[in-house]
């Protein structure tokens, strides 16, 4: 079965940018070649896996810093 292709509006909704910037952010990703896309005639489609890869590549993991005796403040 072929992979699901999403239009720009669907990608904006998945990324949570639809309310603030509409389709601008996904279109900028396409223009800057920062996301994989497919052109079908004049239509632009983005594979769902490309969106998942973009999210994974830009996910920042938290730092679990422990408090030690040297970085505690005086009480």
| pLDDT tens string 28-37 | 999 999 999 9
**What per-residue confidence (pLDDT) applies to 7?**
97
CA atoms within 13 A on the CB side of 56: 6
- Interatomic CA distance for residues 35 and 6, integer angstroms: 12
**What per-residue confidence (pLDDT) applies to 21?**
87
> What is the per-residue burial (b if ≥16 Cβ within 10 Å, else e) of 58-72?
eeeeeeeeeeeeeee
pLDDT at 13 over 60: yes
Nearest to 39 by CA among 7, 10, 73, 62: 7
| pLDDT tens string 16-67 | 998 888 899 999 999 999 999 999 999 999 999 999 999 999 999 998 877 6
Furthest-apart CA atoms within the chain: distance in Å: 68
């Amino acid at each position: 079965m072929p992979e699901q292709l999403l239009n720009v509006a669907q990608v904006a909704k998945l990324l949570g940018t639809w309310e603030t910037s509409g389709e601008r952010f996904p279109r900028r990703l396409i223009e800057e070649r920062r996301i994989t896309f497919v052109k079908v005639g004049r239509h632009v489609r983005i594979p769902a896996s490309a969106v998942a890869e973009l999210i994974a590549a830009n996910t920042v993991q938290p730092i679990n810093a422990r408090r030690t005796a040297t970085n505690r403040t005086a009480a």
